[in-house]
A = this chain, B = another copy of it.
Amino acid sequence: MADNDPPGFELPLLLFAGFRSLIDQLHAELATRGHPDVRPAYGFAMQAIGVLGATASEIGRRLGVSKQAAGKTVDRLAALGYVERVDDPHDARRKLIRLTPRGIDSLVQSAEIFDRLRARWVEALGADRVAQLESSLRTVVPNAGFPVDVPGWFG
């Protein structure tokens, strides 16, 4: 808080640019590995589904959006072959959404690519600075895991 305060907009812009840069590189790399149609929102949705599967309502809850919005995303995911809907034998109202092998593959590849991108940051900054960056963010943003509440923040 000295004479030359930073022009407030810089910190949020840097955080966004960092996030955006990772996401863009992820999808560029994902496209070359057989997943050209995966969009950022799909990755979050598939994370919310998880290996155990989930109902559309549950996905909506985990993502912080309405069940209708989650249902639409599941439609798109299903059309691309990343998930499938299975009738729940114990509850005729429910339909379990499950990742297909293709869906699982996209998640595995994403994790692998993110690890690689993080390694690039370690090359540029050093392991301790990256670790400290993560630690700082964990401190100021509690619960940064799922439910992540990411899609639709713009609308």
A17 touches B125 (CB 8 A): no
Complex CA distance for A39 and B5, rounded to whole angstroms: 25
B137 touches A14 (CB 8 A): yes
Decide if the interface of chain A is mainly helix, strand, loop or mixed: helix
Complex CA distance for A48 and B149, rounded to whole angstroms: 27
A139 to chain B, nearest CB (A): 6
B21 touches A18 (CB 8 A): no
By beta carbon, the residue of chain B nearest A121 is B140
A13 touches B140 (CB 8 A): no
Give the contacting residue for A16; candidates B19, B26, B134; CB below 8 A: B19
By beta carbon, the residue of chain B nearest A115 is B8
A138 to chain B, nearest CB (A): 7
Complex CA distance for A113 and B7, rounded to whole angstroms: 11
B110 touches A9 (CB 8 A): yes
B110 touches A8 (CB 8 A): yes
A141 touches B18 (CB 8 A): yes
Does chain B have a CB within 8 A of A129?
A: yes
A37 to chain B, nearest CB (A): 14
